[in-house]
């Protein structure tokens, strides 16, 4: 299963270098590259960028990387790449996995990637271990949800629907945040607006997943590769 990566830097040459490093390492896929940090923020909020790991510069026009990181840290894990050493404390306050000073050698990059892989693996183990989660509902309420009972999740503007066989829960949380609580071996994103529980799939074809309640959900091109990998016979 590939780790989906996003690159954000106002210098295209830096993104080319990092993308080149990632192509040398199996299990990583670059799904988005942005030179405009404000546009990257818009795309994260709109679920147009869905990434497990984001490599990001700090000194960028319109919105610097520290500010951007504070806004998207619940949607993706972050590694900062910068020419400035003095931002390290702020970057780690944002929950960054690592902070690399340019120029970045392949050896340093490999070490950083190993740290990122360990953190993402730990998050996955935690998601598998906890069967019950509490997600924010209206006001200050918290909704108790049993993960195995979730059939699918549907995004809608600034909230989501968490759908079980018995309930449709309205939750004020992003799709990316919700996905981070779910074990990847059971749940897969098939569209910017849809996450499904593979245990509840009735049927699928190359473009559609058929779920309970006669729901036919589209499969986006950008998620077909991941879905195919998840349903491939072992």
Q: pTM here?
A: 0.80
Q: What is the pLDDT of residues 95-108, one digit of tens each?
A: 889 889 989 999 99
pLDDT over 70 (residue 203): yes
What is the Cα 125 distance to its own chain's centre? 16
Q: For residue 22, give every residue at least 6 positions away whose Cβ sits within 8 Å of its Cβ, in sequence order, or none.
A: 5, 28, 30
CA atoms of 204 and 58, how far apart (whole Å) = 42
Q: For residue 14, give every residue at least 6 positions away whose Cβ sits within 8 Å of its Cβ, in sequence order, or none.
A: 57, 81, 102
Place of tokens 């074809």: 205
Q: What is the pLDDT of residues 145-194, one digit of tens each?
A: 999 999 999 998 778 999 999 999 999 988 988 998 999 889 999 999 99
Q: Which domains does the chain have, with CATH numbers?
A: 3-128 (3.40.50.2300), 132-231 (2.40.50.1020)
């Amino acid at each position: 299963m590939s780790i989906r990566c996003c690159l954000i830097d106002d210098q295209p040459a830096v993104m080319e270098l990092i993308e080149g490093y990632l192509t040398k390492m199996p299990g990583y896929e670059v799904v988005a590259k942005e030179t405009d940090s404000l546009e990257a923020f818009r795309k994260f909020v709109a679920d147009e960028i869905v990434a497990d790991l984001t490599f990001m510069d700090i000194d960028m026009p319109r919105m610097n990387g520290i500010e951007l990181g504070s806004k998207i840290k619940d949607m993706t894990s972050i590694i900062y790449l910068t020419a400035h050493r003095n931002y390290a404390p702020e970057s780690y306050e944002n929950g960054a996995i690592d902070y690399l000073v340019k120029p970045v050698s392949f050896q340093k990059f490999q070490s950083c990637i190993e740290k990122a892989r360990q953190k993402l693996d730990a998050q996955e183990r935690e998601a598998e271990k906890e069967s019950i989660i509490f997600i924010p509902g209206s006001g200050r309420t918290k909704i108790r949800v049993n993960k195995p009972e979730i059939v699918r999740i549907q995004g809608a503007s600034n909230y989501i629907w968490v759908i079980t066989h018995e309930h449709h829960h309205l939750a004020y949380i992003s799709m990316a945040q919700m996905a981070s609580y779910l074990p990847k071996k059971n749940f897969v994103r098939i569209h910017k607006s849809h996450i499904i529980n593979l245990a509840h799939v009735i049927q699928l074809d190359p473009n559609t997943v058929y779920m309970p309640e006669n729901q036919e959900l589209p499969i986006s091109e950008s998620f077909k590769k991941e879905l195919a990998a998840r349903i491939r016979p072992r």
